Amino acid sequence: MPDREQGRRPAPPREEVFAAAMDAIAGQGLAALTMAGLGRRLGMSAGHLLYYFGSKDQLLLETLGWSESELGERRRTALRSDAPAARRLDDYVALYLPTGIGDPRWALWVEVWGRSLAVEAMRTGQAVIEAAWRTDLVALLRQGIAAGEFRAVDPERFAVRLGALLDGFGTPVVTGVPGAGREAALAHIGEYLDDSLHLR
């Protein structure tokens, strides 16, 4: 009997799997992402993908973590700049929000949020990713307060509030709710920051 494994390409690096998953989401949407379809893109079976990741939930969570680690480098570069804290906060907000309808990173976030209701590992994993954003935001707020650019707010509480605001505006943007585009979201958030944080 012929060896079924003969000639099969070795398993690709995990980063290649994550990149292929993001490409598939960007091109066809998350609903079309299946283990079988992703396997075909990579020249491997759905069974092999499940062997390496354990479940589709875990694959999605790890893909989100990989995507966020790349974006995290851009975020930290922006926050380390010599620009005023207010400008760096604007950069933070711009990086956080989805680029538009169907943004694959945000589509993954929405899916992970939904699945985390029933899967504890998803809740734990998303909390770790979200904590990195909040930690950087708290540090930036403290810098702005110390420099006299921002009002003397409680950085931890303000970061929680701003994070909820960003998520609240971001979700309608990525899902295409009429009138909820990225520019409108940026304008609303900018008004909130002007009223509650920026010194005049």
pLDDT in tens, 51-100: 888 888 888 888 888 989 888 999 999 999 999 999 999 999 999 999 99
**12 or 192: which carries more pLDDT confidence?**
192
Average pLDDT (191-200) is 87
The domain of 1 spans 1-54
Contacts of 194 (CB under 8 A, 6+ apart): none
- Are residues 110 and 47 both part of a single domain? no
User: What's the pTM value of the predicted model, to 2 decimals?
Assistant: 0.84
CATH number for the domain spanning 144: value is 1.10.357.10
Looking at residue 13, its pLDDT comes to: 83
Q: Is residue 132 part of a domain?
A: yes
| pLDDT tier, 4 (very low <50, low <70, confident <90, very high otherwise) | very low
Mutual angle of helices 85-96 and 182-196, in 10-degree steps: 150
Contacts of 41 (CB under 8 A, 6+ apart): 20, 23, 24
Look at the chain and report how many structural domains it folds into: 2
In this structure, are residues 186 and 97 in contact, taking their beta carbons and an 8 Å threshold? yes
Q: Is residue 91 part of a domain?
A: yes
| pLDDT tier, 161 (very low <50, low <70, confident <90, very high otherwise) | very high
- Are residues 2 and 92 both part of a single domain? no
Q: What is the mean pLDDT of the chain?
A: 87
**6 or 103: which carries more pLDDT confidence?**
103
Average pLDDT (191-196) is 95
